[in-house]
Amino acid sequence: MKWEDRGTSGDVEDRRGSGRGGGLRLGIGGFILLGVLSLVFKQNFFTLLDTGGGTGGGVSGPPASVSPEEEKLVHFVSFVLDDVQATWTREFQGMGQSYGRAKLVLFTDSVRSGCGFAEGAMGPFYCPADQKVYIDLGFYQELKNRFGASGDFAQAYVLAHEVGHHVQDLLGLEGRMRDAQQQRPQDAKALSVRFELQADCLAGVWAHSTQQRNILEAGDVEEALGAAAAVGDDRIQKQATGRVNPESWTHGSSRQRMQWFNAGLQKGRVQECDTLGAGSGD
């Protein structure tokens, strides 16, 4: 991906090295469960995790010693963040709406968010309560080493997916999903998966814009598709246990994640991302 080093984005809150506060530690499974409960009952169950100390909204700055490689990564994600949000600013203007920018919080190991206390082990996430994306930069090394997804555009895809959740929030799509879950509680988990696939499609809409602006390089699309496939629930489950259980999926299969990212990439339109209205086999 062709990118320019413009330093650290003004939309970045750097909390690296300062996120080891108290609170109940929660694994990814428990975090997802609280997320589903919050969506179904329209209550913020994440507050159960917050045992004091506020949400950690202060900006502490980077740790005292940061390697040149990590600092370059910070500048890269800053460029991607600004580019993704500039794209959505234009898209919202085209829809006659105003886009409110999200913040990106960089942290180490654990962090307090508006959705409660979380650990880096759960991976990047978006918190609608404070409209911030949270990433422990160590995840990118795990993406490469554990999941076999390398390359800068694979990293960009991850961030674009999380900003996609912010777009869903602003467009009221999260509310639409919550209403559907309340009306069909037996489908709550499946609808949550479709919500994640929609964020993949919205990441593809941004990727389409990078194609149009000729900032993609050879192999970039393959890197993003490879990352989408690498973090598919079926692949992760098979890698971990040797078995696949669709009933416990949270983000969709490798095929589904690639399919929906590609839908946004090919058409570049939000209208192509109606995963909630798509057939059950999609």
pLDDT of residue 23: 42
Residue 35: which domain range?
Answer: 12-275
Q: Which letter does DSSP use for residue 60 in this model? A: -
Q: Is residue 97 part of a domain?
A: yes
Q: Is residue 1 part of a domain?
A: no
87-120, pLDDT tens digit by residue?
999 999 999 999 999 999 999 999 999 999 999 9
39-82, pLDDT tens digit by residue?
656 565 555 544 333 334 444 566 657 899 999 999 999 999 99
Query: Is residue 245 over pLDDT 70?
Result: yes
Number of domains making up the chain: 1
pLDDT of residue 239: 83
Q: Is residue 6 part of a domain?
A: no
Q: Is residue 178 part of a domain?
A: yes
Query: Is residue 186 over pLDDT 60?
Result: yes
Q: Is residue 281 part of a domain?
A: no
Cβ neighbours around 40 below 10 Å, total: 17
Q: Is residue 165 part of a domain?
A: yes
Q: Which letter does DSSP use for residue 64 in this model? A: S
User: Distance between CA atoms of 82 and 100, rounded to whole angstroms?
Assistant: 13
Residue, of 268 and 21, whose pLDDT is higher:
268
Assign 33 a pLDDT band (cuts: 50, 70, 90): low
**Three-state DSSP class for residue 15:** strand
189-208, pLDDT tens digit by residue?
999 999 999 999 999 999 99
pLDDT of residue 61: 61
Q: Is residue 282 part of a domain?
A: no
- Reading the block at residue 66, the tokens are 């940061």
210-234, pLDDT tens digit by residue?
999 999 999 999 999 999 998 998 8
Q: Residue 270 is inside which H or E element, if any?
A: none
Q: Which letter does DSSP use for residue 99 in this model? A: P
Q: Is residue 3 part of a domain?
A: no
pLDDT of residue 226: 92
pTM for this predicted structure: 0.83
Long-range contacts of 33-42 (CB under 8 A, 24+ apart): 34/116, 35/192, 36/188, 36/189, 36/192, 39/174, 39/177, 39/178, 39/181, 39/188, 39/192, 40/178, 40/181, 40/182, 40/185, 40/188, 42/178, 42/182
